[in-house]
Amino acid sequence: MHAFLISTAAFVVLLGIMVVVHEFGHFAVAKLCGVRVEAFSVGFGPRLFGIKYGDTDYKVCLLPLGGYVKMTGETPDAGVAAGVEETDPALVDDPGAFTAHPRWQRMLIGLAGPVANFVLAFVAMGCYFVWINESPAFEVPDTRVEWVTPGSQAAMAGLQTGDVIRQFAGSDNPSWYMIDARASLNLSEMVPVEVERNGKLLNLSLYLPSQSHSDEFDVSDIGLYPQQVSGPIDVAAVVPDAPAAQAGLQPRDAIESVDGHTFHTVPVLSAYLQAGKGKPVSVVVKRNGQTIPPLVMHPVHSSAQLGSGWMLGFEAVPPPMRDEPLSFGRAVAKSTSFCSDSSTLILDVLRGIFMHRVSISQLTGPVGIARMAGEAVQMKGWYPSFALASEISLNLGILNLLPFPILDGGLILLLAIESGIRRDINTLVKERIYQAAFVMLVAFAAFIIFNDITKLNAH
């Protein structure tokens, strides 16, 4: 129940901000063009309170799920995106009506909403990088491989510990986030991988097997584990009577190597133990600044006390984090790169869906967004929340530009057609188009929500 409440609250706040910013874009450009804006509403339903200034009623309504802008000369409940003309003859001579303005101005008004979402994403990530920019205290600057599980897809491709990935599926110098994202778009395919090994570049081919939940692909699924920090694994606590305790491991020890392999984080060490299937391991430990004789530990399988899989029975100190605010120039560059990479991924997903290379089930709707928002709020640090908000804002902007009726892109397309034929499309024809589009959009939304609910059972 606690997680549900957090997810719901985070979703309402996030969606409200995204939609209000989107509608403000329409509002601002409409005002600049001289279109009369009758209402700017935060939320839907009955009016709670507000203020009337000039021609516009600025109000807050009961249902806090976004907002809308109502302009003279458009369908009140469809917003700017619909562009359905009113039939009132008085509007023809009304200079403040939406339909009385040149088509190029109406196109700008339709375009302004998505642009506002793009600006929001850019500004949000820029603020994060210039004021916060959390990073591990011992961050590894490149995409370096810490461990490859023997017999895995990564091992069969020829990837080795210490390799630095310079190119993955067409992405140059990718981050691990980009590798995960690119891999999820190329499942069941062979992708090119370029690695740097001992100062030389090698070209490899990696097969990416299909996943039952490909929207949550992780490189560990193919036996590839990244090096995230450079320091040893520091021990915070040892479980009584566990293999680590029996071998003599103590809190504040630092694990330098296991069977000669240097590991820096527990997930990678755990992957090594699973591959070993319970065989004894020799652990080199530094205690009070001195390296002591190796400790031999015999992993045990899952139990109620120790979790699942083969375990040694100790808790590690989380890698330290620190804020490293960037200069304004670097923050702008990082924000630009983030927005560019995220937008490219969104377009790749859409292209993959239309080409039947990506399943439509990968799309996430309100339920999935609420779950992710709740998880982001509960994660340590600010990055998950800023990144999720920016990605959703970019998604909203790009999806609204699709040339589909009811969306902003549909309005722009119809206006472009009218400009080409130099006359207005019949109002009745446009009404029928929007009615059909509305039915299709509702059916699609129902599918997405159903898909989100089925995914909940996998978490």
pLDDT digits (tens, 9 = 90+) for 384-408: 889 989 999 999 999 999 998 888 9
Domain boundaries, the chain: 2-127+391-456, 145-226, 233-323
Question: Which token pair is 228?
Answer: 């995230």
What pLDDT was estimated at residue 152? 93
Q: What is the mean pLDDT of residues 46-59?
A: 93
Among the ranges given (84-93, 188-197, 330-339, 354-363), the one the predictor scored with the smallest mean pLDDT: 84-93
Residue 234 has pLDDT above 70, yes or no: yes
The Cα 130–Cα 227 span in angstroms is 26
For residue 376, name the pLDDT band (cuts at 50, 70, 90): confident
DSSP per residue, 222-274: GTEEE--BSS-EEEEEE-TTSHHHHHT--TT-EEEEETTB---SHHHHHHHHH
Mean pLDDT of the chain: 85
The Cα 321–Cα 58 span in angstroms is 43
For residue 85, name the pLDDT band (cuts at 50, 70, 90): very low
The Cα 403–Cα 140 span in angstroms is 43
Among the ranges given (119-128, 132-141, 220-229, 332-341), the one the predictor scored with the smallest mean pLDDT: 132-141
135-185 pLDDT per residue, tens: 766 578 889 999 999 999 999 999 999 999 999 998 899 988 889 888 888
Residue 347 has pLDDT above 50, yes or no: yes
What pLDDT was estimated at residue 216? 60
Count of H-run helices and E-run strands, the chain:
12, 15
Question: Which token pair is 278?
Answer: 């319970």
Residues forming a β-bridge with 287: 290
Question: Which token pair is 256?
Answer: 């330098």
295-319 pLDDT per residue, tens: 999 999 865 434 468 999 998 987 7
CA-nearest of 66, 69, 58 to 35 is 69
| CATH number for the domain formed by residue range(s) 145-226 | 2.30.42.10
Q: Which CATH architecture has domain 233-323?
A: Roll (2.30)
> Are 145-226 and 233-323 equal in CATH topology?
yes
What pLDDT was estimated at residue 78? 40
Residues with Cβ within 8 Å of residue 356, at least 6 apart in sequence:
none
Residue 191 has pLDDT above 90, yes or no: yes
The Cα 25–Cα 22 span in angstroms is 5
How deeply is 49 buried, as exposed, middle or buried, from its count of CB atoms within 10 A (0-12, 13-18, 19+)? exposed
Q: How far is CA 399 from CA 23, 377, 405, in A?
A: 15, 25, 12
